[in-house]
């Protein structure tokens, strides 16, 4: 199952990516994140933990990073896997920010409908807050 949402910002991809790199402050623009940590900088292979505002802390591993353009994080628990993709694409009307979440595994049959509702409600808010933060940082 896959959920994705996107928005356009007039902030540069680099300005948005700086917010991604500041993992300890993801909660300032992602209302569904209570806390996030990594064992170092945002780089492929980095490992950490994410605590959602509703739910238990889960391990996360950065599976791919293209500085200034994209990163992917994977969280696994027994019988369930979530992949969070974040893509920045510059264009004539600004930078497109895309957040995509894919989940799989046997538990996705049970968790999928609930998570889909939460993600479809939460991702637009997350993107709007990320956009506002990037634009205000750019102006500062």
Query: What is the reported pLDDT for 45?
Result: 97
The number of angstroms, rounded, from the C-alpha of 127 to the middle of its chain's C-alpha atoms is: 9
Query: What is the reported pLDDT for 140?
Result: 41
Decide which of 1.10.599.10, 3.30.420.10, 3.90.550.10, 3.30.530.20 is the CATH code for 2-139. Answer: 3.30.530.20
Measured distance CA(12)–CA(21) in Å, rounded = 15
For the beta carbon of residue 95, count every other beta carbon within 10 angstroms.
21
Query: What is the reported pLDDT for 55?
Result: 84
In sequence order, the 6+-apart residues with CB closer than 8 A to the CB of 126 are: 29, 30, 31, 32, 99
Domain ranges of the chain: 2-139
Measured distance CA(17)–CA(20) in Å, rounded = 5
Which band of pLDDT confidence, cut at 50, 70 and 90, is reported for residue 138? low
The mean pLDDT value for 80-87 works out to 95
pTM (two decimals): 0.91
């Amino acid at each position: 199952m896959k959920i994705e949402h996107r928005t356009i910002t007039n902030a540069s991809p680099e300005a948005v990516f700086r917010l991604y790199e500041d993992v300890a402050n993801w909660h300032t623009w992602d209302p569904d994140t209570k806390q996030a940590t990594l064992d170092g900088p945002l780089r492929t292979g980095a490992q950490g933990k994410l605590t959602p505002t509703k739910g238990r802390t889960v391990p996360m591993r950065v599976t791919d990073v293209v500085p200034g353009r994209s990163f992917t994080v994977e969280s696994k628990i027994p019988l369930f896997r979530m992949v969070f993709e974040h893509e920045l694409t510059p264009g004539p009307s600004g930078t497109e920010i895309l957040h995509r979440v894919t989940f799989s595994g046997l538990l996705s049959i049970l968790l999928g409908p609930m998570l889909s509702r939460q993600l479809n409600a939460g991702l637009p808010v997350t993107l709007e807050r990320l956009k506002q933060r990037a634009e205000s940082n750019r102006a500062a």
